[in-house]
Amino acid sequence: MELLVDPLFRIPFVTGLCLSLLLPLLGAYLRLRDEWLAALGFVHLGGAGGVIGSVVPWPPLATALGAAALGVGLRSTRRRAGNDGYAVMILAGWAVMILGASLDHTARVMGQALIDGQLYFTGNAHVAAVATFALCLGALLPALSRRLLRARLMPGFDAVNGSSGRLDTLLFTALTAFGVTLAAMSVGVMAAFALTFIPPWVAFRVAISWRGALALATLAGAVAFTASFVVALLVDLPFGPTLVAVLVLLAALRAVRRPPG
């Protein structure tokens, strides 16, 4: 139990907790836009970038973010929303991750870390990147939220007023890409996707309002992360799979019936 208060684990805990609060928010808007597969696409691209950075060698975190930026650029060339492009990202990222990890021992270690999650080894660079992302999300999301909701609920409004909404889509896609990539480099590829997908999936089933869904999603993400952190540390388990397992158990809350009205 002394490990839980050890200063060595304070930075990893704070880093992971911040991500567990932010990613479910992004996931809620992805689900609103029917683009939830974007999270899995970008985490695979980011993972591929991390493996490439290990082979070259370049800084893995910077290379992962660069790969995510490339994905944002490719997504900006498509006018329609949808998951098809993200499916291609998943396949391409997965192939690069596996093939790259087979070419070099360091890259193989990085690939394993992306599967297990390397949260306990996060340092100042990760903290600074997550803090920067949190500030950007806090500054941009309130204004983006209104426009994203309007585009979903009133799709003809922007067309009538001569606005395509492409800049809003680009900004939100960039936030998603960088957020899930940072998480992939910290908690692992599938854990980052699970944090983005499962809490909003549960919240949309249980909550009775949009704001309630956002609040429930962030709460579920934080609770699942904290429980996983404690269990993985005490039982000496890899963090990423532990978090995924806890989130899958959390999905059972979808059986709870939404209050009438």
The residue with greater pLDDT, 155 or 183, is 183
What pLDDT score does 10 carry?
Answer: 84
Q: What is the DSSP string of 194-219?
A: HHHHHHHHHHHHH-SSHHHHHHHHHH
Q: Where are the domains of the chain?
A: 2-189
Q: Whole-prediction pTM value?
A: 0.89
Q: What is the DSSP string of 104-115?
A: -HHHHHHHHHHH
Does residue 259 carry a pLDDT above 90?
no
Least confident span in 89-98, 125-134, 187-196, 252-261: 252-261
What pLDDT score does 107 carry?
Answer: 87
Task: Say if CB 5 and CB 53 are below 8 A apart.
Answer: no
Instruction: Give the architecture (CATH level 2) of 2-189.
Output: Orthogonal Bundle (1.10)
CA distance 53 to 66: 10
What pLDDT score does 245 carry?
Answer: 96
- 253: which DSSP letter? G
Amino acid residing at 39:
A
User: Across all residues in the chain, what is the average pLDDT?
Assistant: 87
What pLDDT score does 135 carry?
Answer: 95
What pLDDT score does 124 carry?
Answer: 84
Does residue 148 carry a pLDDT above 60?
yes
- Find the helix or strand (DSSP H, E) in which 75 lies: helix 60-76
158-211 pLDDT, tens digit each? 655 555 567 888 899 999 999 999 999 999 999 999 999 999 999 999 988 999
Dihedral sign, Cα of residue 214, residue 219, residue 224, residue 225 = positive
Does residue 218 carry a pLDDT above 70?
yes
Over residues 138-152, mean pLDDT? 87
